[in-house]
Structure 1
Amino acid sequence: MSADYALDDPPGDAISALQFSTSSQRLAVASWDRTISIYTREDEEESSHFRLLERVQCRAPILDLVWGADDNTLFFVGLDHDVRKVDLGAEDLTQTVLSYHEQPSNKVSYSHELGLVLSTGWDSILHVHNTANNEGRSLLRVRLPGKPFALALTAERAVIAMAERKVSVYDLRALKMLTEQTADTGMSSDADIGEVEIHDITPWQTRESNLKFMTRAVATMPDGTGFATSSIEGRVAVEWFDAEKAANTYAFKCHRQTSMQIAEDGTEQEVDVVYPVNALAFNSPHGTFATGGGDGVIAFWDAQTKRRVKQYPKLGASVAALDFSGDGKCLAIGVSPGFEDGNEDVESDAGLVKILIKELAENEAKGKAAK
């Protein structure tokens, strides 16, 4: 069985994103309290326990973050519109602005294979930085067909889920070639964003989501052959890029609970309570994936056999973010108060904000054979 423990010194407000570094020796956590918390393993060889190493102070609430090429480089975006890089190896935690969106920037990803930083903003623009050119400040701006909600990469593709059920898949190598053509275009001041051309680029693939309502998260399969998306209506869709596998695409219901409620006529009736699926994460060794919902539940699924592998007991608050360590042995869980109960006007309880590490037993995340 897996073992869970909570990290000491969690953020003071809701968690927006978290991610293990490539080496899995560090964990970065973004929060609405305008900080990024960096945790490090207490013992690199034996322990999976983490302790707080430092906190990066930011100008505005952080909406997303991603590790760069090493354990000292982080890219992050937030409500201040900026796409920033922080050097954790510098004594003053030096921050560099790579670019900025005309509206808040909500998602950021990094391609280790190509050295690209991609970010999206509520301005419906995709920013692509080639870190090999001008420290990543050379900028390619791409117009998106809709407001972006989620972003994930494979070694070759970028998947962007947007409003109106739109999904665009871009070829990363093609984007890199365009950044090299615009290598002399840099961001030197806040005044020149309007001078950077916005390109209209035809995506490698254009899709209509199999989910009927707003997409909340997207995650790509470890082998790069497809992706999963989740929505606010308690559904997950699994899709493949290859046209020959299109027939295998499917969607399923999850993170729903049945409760008894009193109807207007005084009788009891069963009501299906639907929760948003806030987080998705694939386990690289096994190819299964985890979902985290507004119901505080985490479940593991086998994308190939369409079966649920495991479901864990309900946590004390909504699951906001998930990430597996590179070896698949640990799952980091960001827990924060949500508004799934309809109490938007009630001040959230900071004591419910937690970062949990789930140490998985051998084969706990392994898929199940089809019946």
Structure 2
Amino acid sequence: MAGLFGAAGSSSTGNTIGDLKNDVAVSNPPEDTISDLTFSPTADILAVSSWDKKVRIYQIAGNGASEGKHIYEHDAPVLSVDFSKDGNKLVSAGADKQAKVCDLQTLQTAQVAAHDNTVKAARFFELPNSNGPMLVTGSWDKTIKYWDLRSQTPVGTVTCQERVYSMDVRNSLLVVGTADRYINVINLQEPLKFYKTLQSPLKWQTRVVSCFTDASGFAIGSIEGRCAIQYVEDKDSSSNFSFKCHRDPPSGNVTQVYSVNDISFHPQHGTFSTAGSDGTFHFWDKDAKHRLKGYPTVGGSITATTFNSSGTIFAYAIGYDWSKGYMANNPNYPNKVMLHPIQGDECKPRPSVKKR
């Protein structure tokens, strides 16, 4: 089923081309490449982590205007940020081998987790009958650890096959993508064992895993301009598929392919975005197996994306992603966070065609 949607850019006709003219830049962006973006579930508050070792928190107004509300530092590049479900806490983690939690009420920050190597991802989750938010961290030390915020020691550790590259949580679903293309699926009701382990259906290194809005499955993005859709429970052979994206149209017998750097699911519609090294983002409907919109290049690689809780704003970060090595980096490379207002039916699923 590869190539189902067609290579992005190759079949753009009619209204499948989206518009960037209303996109607004966030004021006072980080000074180095942005690694992660997350919106609060309860307000239009955007947290941004960066290679400049800082976490920035912005208030976003209805007209797209942004105001910096708080900033705090790590001892090394910060690679991951996530809000708790109630919007009161923000976790950040990175190359200083730790995770910190910032209390949004008091703006106090405390270290809450530690690993033996870089912490690549940190996510809040809540279990039934638990006394509050729990934390899971995934590291290049090949472990994921669970943390109760009231304790300095992990409440559980799971060893993975390889370094953790990407991790996402939705409800009781935890998906962990590691080096060597392993994908581990964990049911957080039984957090210390793998519910399922698979090799990525994509042939090259996993860049991102992202859970469906309804937690029935997840998407995988890789460095070779491909995305895979995987259901936790295999319904039938056609439900799992992969498709090409973030590729230039073939020139002669050469096709330029780009890394899929991030995948974000729309909170209401369950449609999703892909964004890549080619500086484009696209909205897709996995159920109709259809591309909804593709957008022109934004002038630099897109390193991270997220939707706000109402699905009315799509935030994306532009910055150098090292896909072309250090020689391609230069001081004039753009470094910014953009806010794209979701217009009309940009992210709405296609009307389904019922089979008789």
Superposition TM-score tier, normalisation by shorter sequence: 0.7 to 0.9
Match of 1:174 among 185, 190, 207: 190
RMSD of aligned residue pairs (Cα, Å): 2.0
- Aligned pair 1:152/2:168, yes or no? yes
Counterpart contact for 2:283–2:346, Cα < 8 Å: no
Q: Alpha-carbon deviations, 1:3-47, whole Å to 9, x = none?
A: 2111110100000001000113200000000111110034xxx44
- Higher mean alpha-carbon deviation, 78-87 vs 30-39, is at 78-87
- Aligned pair 1:130/2:148, yes or no? yes
SS at match of 2:235: helix
Counterpart contact for 1:41–1:51, Cα < 8 Å: yes
C-alpha distance in structure 1 between counterparts of 2:138 and 2:227, whole Å: 22
Offset of residue 217 of structure 1: 0.6
Give 1:56's aligned residue: 72
> CA 1:113/1:139 → structure 2, altered by over 3 Å: closer, same or farther?
closer
Give 2:121's aligned residue: 107
C-alpha distance in structure 1 between counterparts of 2:257 and 2:236, whole Å: 30
Offset of residue 48 of structure 1: 4.0
Query: TM-score under structure 2 normalisation?
Result: 0.87
Offset of residue 364 of structure 1: 1.5
In the TM superposition, structure 1's runs of 4+ consecutive aligned residues that sit over 4 Å from their partners are 135-138
**Gaps (5+ residues) in structure 1?**
176-200, 261-268
Offset of residue 324 of structure 1: 0.6
> CA 1:22/1:136 → structure 2, altered by over 3 Å: closer, same or farther?
farther
Q: Alpha-carbon deviations, 1:245-298, whole Å to 9, x = none?
A: 4541000111001365xxxxxxxx452100000000000211110000100000
Offset of residue 362 of structure 1: 2.4
**Gaps (5+ residues) in structure 2?**
1-18
The residue type paired with residue 345 of structure 2 is N
SS at match of 1:244: coil
C-alpha distance in structure 1 between counterparts of 2:205 and 2:45, whole Å: 32
C-alpha distance in structure 1 between counterparts of 2:238 and 2:333, whole Å: 46
How many residues matched?
330
SS at match of 1:66: strand
The residue type paired with residue 58 of structure 1 is H
> Counting helix residues as a fraction of each chain, which structure ranks higher?
1
Higher relative contact order, structure no. (Cα contacts within 8 Å, ≥ 6 residues apart): 2
Who wins on radius of gyration, i.e. which is larger?
1
Q: Alpha-carbon deviations, 1:176-224, whole Å to 9, x = none?
A: xxxxxxxxxxxxxxxxxxxxxxxxx431112221111110011111111
Give 2:42's aligned residue: 23
- Aligned pair 1:295/2:313, yes or no? no
Offset of residue 104 of structure 1: 0.7
Counterpart contact for 2:164–2:177, Cα < 8 Å: yes
Where does 1:167-206 land on structure 2 (aligned, <5 Å)? 167-175=183-191, 201-206=192-197
Identity %: 28
Match of 2:84 among 68, 82, 105: 68
Offset of residue 159 of structure 1: 0.5
SS at match of 1:22: coil
Offset of residue 307 of structure 1: 0.8
Query: TM-score under structure 1 normalisation?
Result: 0.84
> CA 1:149/1:281 → structure 2, altered by over 3 Å: closer, same or farther?
same
C-alpha distance in structure 2 between counterparts of 1:363 and 1:159, whole Å: 29
Counterpart contact for 1:282–1:324, Cα < 8 Å: yes
Give 2:296's aligned residue: 313
